[in-house]
Amino acid sequence: MLAQYLPTIVEAVLSETPLFWSTYRERRQGTVRRPMEGKNIWRLCKTYGRLISYPMFKPHDLRHGVAMEVYEQHHDLEQVRGLLGHTRIETTQLYAQIRPAALKQAVAFYEAKALDVLRP
């Protein structure tokens, strides 16, 4: 699926091909497209975090959220461990312990706020 979006940017989609790209204008070069850097992702998290009234939003929250969703859908800690790149399964076991109903409600609340902000 990813291959259908990236061919206009890169010649071949490989495992090391960046997933996130920035498009912006430079005074001398015009429109430029480059892989996103960490500072771009931090800036986006801060911007959208403020929009949804969660100013402490961090890129790690996205990683954590995806890991929890994968675990909730597949109930396979080993798959989550591989996704996150953890060497020890004990590190990954945290994701099996923290999905109480209150946390799920909080995630749904912020997800709804984010969708409201993103809808045109």
- Based on the fold, state whether residues 46 and 63 are members of the same structural domain: no
- Total-model pTM: 0.59
Q: Which two tokens stand for residue 9?
A: 């940017």
- Based on the fold, state whether residues 79 and 102 are members of the same structural domain: yes
Work out how many domains the chain is built from and give that number.
2
- Based on the fold, state whether residues 44 and 76 are members of the same structural domain: no
User: Which residues of the chain are under the pLDDT cut of 70?
Assistant: 1-10, 98-103, 120
Residue at 5 is within a domain:
no
Burial of 71 (0-12, 13-18, 19+ CB in 10 A): buried
Domain-terminating residue out of 39, 54, 69: 54
Quote the Cα angle for 17-65-105, to 5°: 155
Residue at 63 is within a domain:
yes
Predicted pLDDT at 17: 79
- Based on the fold, state whether residues 44 and 85 are members of the same structural domain: no
The span from the CA of 80 to the CA of 1, in Å, is 21
Residue at 62 is within a domain:
yes
- Based on the fold, state whether residues 66 and 80 are members of the same structural domain: yes
- Based on the fold, state whether residues 62 and 103 are members of the same structural domain: yes
- Based on the fold, state whether residues 63 and 99 are members of the same structural domain: yes
- Based on the fold, state whether residues 94 and 70 are members of the same structural domain: yes
- Based on the fold, state whether residues 64 and 98 are members of the same structural domain: yes
- Based on the fold, state whether residues 102 and 81 are members of the same structural domain: yes
> Mean pLDDT across the chain, nearest whole number?
81
Predicted pLDDT at 117: 82
- Based on the fold, state whether residues 71 and 101 are members of the same structural domain: yes
The answer to whether the CB of 13 falls within 8 A of the CB of 26 is no
Predicted pLDDT at 6: 59
Identify the domain containing residue 44 by its residue range.
19-54
